[in-house]
């Protein structure tokens, strides 16, 4: 069974550009969460989706948006990139009924120059 | 809101025992996680505590005291591969199951 897969693994963008990050959860997992991890810090919660609906949103500006597709994969979009958006973006999926079974992907390393 | 505090960095010797502490303040508590994260890799699940007490899992054990807002992760018989960041995360009440992470403790194991 494949784990949580994220693409791309690395990305370099220029300030002001837009970026789309993708996540495929473990087969059968309907819940997907996105986290931002700045170097030296713990992951910060951005969004959670379940059955294509947003179930939670962290303290991030409206430049950040996300969606979940019928196959439960998800995209995170960031507009008008800032230098401070440089981080590791992590996706985690969870199975129904598993209160604690979060599995993380290896992340997308975004560098904004 | 939630506040989670853990030491920034710790060092220990191979073969020794190390205890990583985590204190938290939250408006409602529904469980505490410990994750291990090697540099450049995904966090991997170590433990989840809901009730008070010690849970042992091989070389790793996790303790929780809900009344004190306190947890620790105990690593025994340290190995070089245990050098990593250890993340404490708290899940508040509310049903969203979304854990909030502390900044992590970087553990360096030296020979």
- Chain B residues whose CB is inside 8 A of the A99 CB are 30-31, 91, 97
User: What is the structure's pLDDT at B14?
Assistant: 97
Interchain proximity A104–B102, CB inside 8 Å? no
Handedness of CA B96, B98, B99, B103 (dihedral sign): negative
Structure tokens that stand for B45 in this block:
């699940």
User: What is the structure's pLDDT at B94?
Assistant: 65
Evaluate whether A85 touches A67 at the Cβ level (below 8 Å). Answer: no
Residue entry with tokens 């079974």: A101
- Where chain B has pLDDT below 70, the residues are 1, 94-97
DSSP string, chain A: ----EEE-SEEEE-TT--EEEEEEPPTT--EEEEEEE-TTS--EEEEEEETTEEEEE-S--TTEEEEE-TTS-EEEEE-S--GGG-EEEEEEEE-TT-SS--EE---EEEEE-
- Chain B residues whose CB is inside 8 A of the A104 CB are 35, 42-44
- Chain B contact present for A104, CB below 8 A: yes
- Chain B contact present for A39, CB below 8 A: no
Structure tokens that stand for B31 in this block:
């469980």
Residues of B with CB under 8 A from a CB of A: 4, 30-31, 33, 35, 40-45, 48, 87, 89, 91, 96-104
Residue in chain B lying closest to A3 (CA): B42
Which A-chain residues 57-96 have CB contacts (< 8 A) with chain B? 90, 94
- Chain A residues whose CB is inside 8 A of the B100 CB are 45
Task: Name B86's Cβ contacts closer than 8 Å, sequence gap at least 6.
Answer: B6, B20, B34, B35, B36, B37, B46, B73, B104, B105, B107
Structure tokens that stand for A83 in this block:
């230098």
> Distance between CA atoms of B26 and B90, rounded to whole angstroms?
8
User: What is the structure's pLDDT at A105?
Assistant: 95
Q: What is the pLDDT along chain A (113 residues), one digit of tens a residue?
A: 679 999 999 999 999 999 999 999 999 899 999 999 999 899 999 999 999 999 999 999 999 999 999 999 999 999 999 999 999 999 999 887 766 678 999 999 999 99
Q: Which of A102, A103, A106, A108 to substitute to test the interface with B, most B CBs within 10 Å?
A: A102
> Distance between CA atoms of A50 and B88, rounded to whole angstroms?
24
Q: B85: number of CA atoms within 13 Å, CB side?
A: 22
């Amino acid at each position: 069974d494949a784990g949580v897969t994220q693409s791309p693994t690395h990305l370099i963008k220029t300030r002001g550009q837009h970026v789309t990050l993708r996540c495929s959860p473990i087969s059968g997992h309907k819940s997907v969460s996105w986290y931002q991890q700045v170097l030296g810090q713990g992951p910060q919660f951005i969004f959670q989706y379940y059955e294509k609906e947003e179930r939670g949103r962290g303290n991030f500006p409206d430049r950040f948006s996300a969606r979940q597709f019928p196959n439960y994969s998800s995209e995170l979009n960031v507009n008008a990139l800032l230098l401070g958006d440089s981080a590791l973006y992590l996706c985690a999926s969870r199975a129904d009924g598993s209160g604690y079974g979060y599995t993380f992907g290896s992340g997308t390393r975004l560098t904004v120059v | 809101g939630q506040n989670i505090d853990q030491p920034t960095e710790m060092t220990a010797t191979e073969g020794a025992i190390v205890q990583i502490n985590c204190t938290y303040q939250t408006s409602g508590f529904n469980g505490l996680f410990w994750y291990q994260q090697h540099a450049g890799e995904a966090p991997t699940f170590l433990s989840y505590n809901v009730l008070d007490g010690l849970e042992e899992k091989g070389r790793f054990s996790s303790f929780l005291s809900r009344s004190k807002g306190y947890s620790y992760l105990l690593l025994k018989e340290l190995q070089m591969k245990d050098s990593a960041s250890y993340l404490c995360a708290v899940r508040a009440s509310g049903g969203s199951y979304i854990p909030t992470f502390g900044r992590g403790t970087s553990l360096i194991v030296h020979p």
